[in-house]
Structure formats: C-alpha cells, structure tokens
Structure 1
Amino acid sequence: MALQFLGQDPLSPNGGSPTFWLDTETGDILAQGYTSIAHATLAEIGSIPEGEAIIRFPQRMIQFLPAVPE
C-alpha cells in the first residue's frame, strides 16, 4: 500500500488530526479524525458494526478530497 498525503486541518491545534490520505493502489480514502461524538448524535446514527467508527471532521476539510472520477 502506498499512501499519498492529501491534507490536514490547518486549524487543528498542535498539528493534530483530522487528516486525509489516499491509497494510491485502491483509490480508498483514509481519514484520521475525532471519534468523540456526542451521545445524541450516536443515538440518531444507531448501531455501529464492530471495527467501524464514526469520524467527525470539519467541512473545511472537504477541499482536500479528490474529485470522484466519472
């Protein structure tokens, strides 16, 4: 797997997350972000399968995501 750095939230304190990478072999997007989601939000989402997480990132991060090829 070869990861290409896409971008990091410029307003994140201490240069931390959220961050996006692109897996150049599969085209998958990898995201590092905050998993501390409010209980009310989790209640609205419902059950989350084992091994999965809801990751929150600011709208301003969308600029780092590549366009989907047609």
Structure 2
Amino acid sequence: MALHLLCKDPESPNNGSPTLYYDDETDSYLLQSWKVDDPTRLSSILVPDHETVVEFPARLLSLFPRHEAMPHKTAKKTENIAD
C-alpha cells in the first residue's frame, strides 16, 4: 500500500490532524480526524458497527485536491441527509 499525504490542517497544533491521504492501491482516501462520539449527534446517522464518523473543520475542504475533469471512478450522487 502506498499512502500519499494530500493535505493537513495548517491550524492544527503541532502540525497534527486532520490529515487527508490517498491510497493508490485501493483508489481511496483516508481521513485522519476527530472521532465523533456524541450520542446526540450520532443519533441522526445510521452508522454500521464496522464504520465510524469523523469530524473535520470546514477550512480543510478548500485544501482537498480537485479533479473536476476526471471524477473519482466510484463516486456516486447522494441525497442531502438534512432534507
């Protein structure tokens, strides 16, 4: 597995997380961030036992690499869960 560091939250203390990586073997992304464990917040999300929910600051989105001309091969449109 070859992980590639894509971006890190520049405002995190000690240059820590949140951090985004790309795995070129699985063609997927890994997001290291803060685990959400607040039951109230999690109650509106169906999370299978083998998954978790992480939170990251909105400012990090602007650092995510963009490839508009070539969308991710497994990307699919989803509904807005807030609607």
> Please, what TM-score do these two structures have when normalized by structure 2?
0.69
Determine the C-alpha separation between the residues in 1 that align with 2:37 and 2:63. Answer: 22
Name the one with the larger helix percent. Answer: 1
Alignment correspondent of 1:57: 56
Partner secondary structure for residue 66 of structure 2 = coil
> Please, what TM-score do these two structures have when normalized by structure 1?
0.79
How many residue pairs match? The answer is 69
Greater RCO (CA < 8 Å, at least 6 residues apart): 1
Deviation at 1:61, TM superposition (A): 1.1
Structure 2: segments with no counterpart, 5+ residues: 72-83
Q: Percent identity of the aligned residues?
A: 38
Alignment correspondent of 1:22: 22
Residues 20, 64 of structure 1: 8 Å contact kept? no
Detail structure 1 runs of 4+ shifted over 6 Å in the superposition. none
Partner secondary structure for residue 29 of structure 1 = strand
Aligned residue runs from structure 1 range 1-70, under 5 A: 1-46=1-46, 48-68=47-67, 69-70=70-71
Determine the C-alpha separation between the residues in 1 that align with 2:39 and 2:12. Answer: 23
Range that drifts further, 58-67 or 2-11 = 58-67
Between Structure 1 and Structure 2, whose CA radius of gyration is higher?
A: 2
CA RMSD of aligned residues (A): 1.7
